[in-house]
Amino acid sequence: MLIDVSKIKGSKGDVLLIDTALDLSELDPAFTDVKVEGKIKNIAGVLTIKAKITCTFTSICDRCMEEASMPLEAKLDTIFDLNEAKDDSLTLENGKIDLIRTAYDALSLEVPMVILCKEDCKGICPDCGVNLNNEDCRCEKGEE
């Protein structure tokens, strides 16, 4: 989805509202229910974007290997012109914001290093391999 910002480029004070759902499945199906809300504003001839990007991120729990889903939120707050952004938070193509790529890049930075299905996940027994969240360990624990 490309957003043409040329409409507000020449008019100081103009605002372009963003309130849309996005499909990021082609880039990464782990990001679902993606929503972008915010605005692009021309302030004294400089374009600013302030937006919130939310989604559900689904992956595999690092402890028990079960599916884990969590909400993610990223914020965009930057100044740009039609030629380039002042940072890497926006993807611009021919004076248009590539909202799908921008949302994907922003959300990717919010994915935690460790993914857990729940905060107190017990994981998998390293000896017998049972998921300790669902059943007790079957290992014989004798003295060594």
> Which amino acid is residue 121, in one-letter code?
C
- Domain membership of residue 92 (yes or no) is yes
Single pTM value for the model? 0.79
Count how many domains the chain has: 1
CA 38 to chain centre: 15
- Domain membership of residue 17 (yes or no) is yes
Domain that holds residue 18: 2-108
- Domain membership of residue 102 (yes or no) is yes
- Domain membership of residue 144 (yes or no) is no
- Domain membership of residue 122 (yes or no) is no
List Cα–Cα distances, 48 to 34, 75, 76, 105, 128, in angstroms: 22, 13, 10, 18, 56
Q: What is the pLDDT along the chain (144 residues), one digit of tens a residue?
A: 888 777 777 777 788 899 999 999 999 999 999 999 999 888 877 788 899 999 999 999 999 999 999 999 999 888 876 555 556 666 666 777 788 888 898 999 999 999 999 999 999 988 888 999 998 887 876 444
- Domain membership of residue 126 (yes or no) is no
List Cα–Cα distances, 141 to 71, 84, 128, 137, in angstroms: 39, 63, 11, 10
- Domain membership of residue 125 (yes or no) is no
> Which amino acid is residue 34, in one-letter code?
V
- Domain membership of residue 82 (yes or no) is yes
